[in-house]
Amino acid sequence: MLIAAIVFVVVMVIGLPIAFALGLMGTVHMLSLGNESYLLVIIQRLFDQVDLISLTCLPFFIMAGEIMNAGGVTTRLLDFAREIVGRLKAGLAYCCVLIAAVLSAILGSPNGVASMLCGILVPELRKDNYPEEFTGSLVAASSILGPIIPPSTSFIMYFMMTGASIQAMFVGGILPGILLVIVFCIVISILTRKMELKRATDHFSLKRLVKAFFKALPALLVPVVIIGGVIGGFFTATEAGAVSCFCALIASAIYREMDWKKLPEIMLRSAVTGGGILLMISFGGVIAWSLTRAGIPAQIIAAITSVTNSKYLIIALIIVILMIAGCLLDTGTITMVMLPVVFPLATAIGMDAVHFGLVFCILTIIGYITPPVGVVLFVTSNASGIPFNKLCKMIWPFTIGAFVVITVLAYLPDVVLWIPRLCGCAG
């Protein structure tokens, strides 16, 4: 395993795509087991991992986000958010979090949300005298809501590797997403207390609010239709992908800002992005199988349970392991390499698969804004022109707030599973 890990680190350093790095790591590990017949398994695992109808929702969700991105969504959402919280001190900062929450339910990608927020909100925040480091960290932190609020590609990857209910995962992501929005707003309130800031709006106007609401309604209805349809049983989580695309097309047609000649380009870009994720899932299956075959998860479980049988200590250990991994690796890598190890450990102590899935996915997602890797920090820095080191200094209050939320949820499964149970999709 050590040799495989070294190979993985080396190929990542030289710039090999993560999917191929995972596949190479799995192949080297299989060879190290000393059974050449295992190599025949590689082809089988590559196809078995993605030969599922449920994965068809993945490229559809990605394409829906691309369509909404090109269809004039953000400006309407900004106007609506301004009317809701713009009168408050740091109102524009609260707007950022609210917009990110809605965009997250449409795009599902932290990088996509970060790019859109940098384009429209960073200039506005600068205009209202927000410090650069706060502006950048706010945008980056708000962006991680993308993979948490359903639909979520992270949840789909978890479902693929564990078989947990994807419907329950989608529904279960609602409450953690809301809690993170609340915590981020509290962090904003604390950080901006001594700042001299302009208010986003001079006074509250019900007339303006109603007008802004109706303009933003097509965009707001997209996540409502998707999540409501899944909860209500009108369509499955798999079919929700196609529904989201249809809703995105309708919303873009209403706003009349989309260049329909670019639709083939959008579809191609979505196919490339979705294909990359599927390739990662496919090659990740190789390393997952090899680790299981070598009995590594069982060995780790035995080693930990020989030291302590305390469920609470083991949960704390899992959180620490994933926190450290999140500082060093991206979410996809953590999912493919760490999940085969920690999932059996979590089930061994009696954690529900959906509960652990939400905890695992959110912990890995926090890695998007955790230095030194923090992919979203790099995206935000490049898109906004704010130096990376400034983002790293100010991002910690948001990161700590997110860790507090997920730690509480890890020890309170009933809170996480409340909505899935209410909807009848969790035990």
Collect all residues with Cβ–Cβ distance below 8 Å to 1 and sequence separation of at least 6: 29, 32, 291, 294, 296
Neighbours of 202 (CB within 10 A): 9
Q: Over 90: is that where the pLDDT of 186 sits?
A: yes
CA distance readout (Å), 118 to 74, 194, 209, 332: 11, 24, 24, 24
CA geometry: angle 221, 223, 229, nearest 5 deg: 95
Q: Over 90: is that where the pLDDT of 417 sits?
A: no
Which of 7, 282, 335 minimizes the C-alpha distance to 164?
335
Q: Over 90: is that where the pLDDT of 368 sits?
A: no
d(CA 48, CA 380) in angstroms, rounded, equals 36
Tens digits of per-residue pLDDT, 317-341?
Answer: 888 888 777 776 667 777 777 888 8
Query: Distance of alpha carbon 139 from its chain centroid, rounded?
Result: 15
86, 116 Cβ separation under 8 angstroms: no
Tens digits of per-residue pLDDT, 153-176?
Answer: 777 778 777 878 877 887 888 888
- Listed by start position, the domains of the chain span 49-258+294-422
Q: What are the φ and ψ backbone dihedral angles of 46, each rounded to 5 degrees?
A: -60, -40
184, 398 Cβ separation under 8 angstroms: yes
Give pLDDT, residue 2.
Answer: 63
Give pLDDT, residue 398.
Answer: 92
The whole-chain average pLDDT of the chain stands at 78
CA dihedral 301, 306, 309, 312 (to 10 degrees): -60
Q: Over 80: is that where the pLDDT of 285 sits?
A: no
pLDDT-derived band at 342 (thresholds 50, 70, 90) equals confident
Q: Over 70: is that where the pLDDT of 201 sits?
A: no
Q: Over 70: is that where the pLDDT of 219 sits?
A: yes
Largest CA distance in the chain: 73
Give pLDDT, residue 131.
Answer: 87
Give pLDDT, residue 183.
Answer: 93
Give pLDDT, residue 273.
Answer: 72
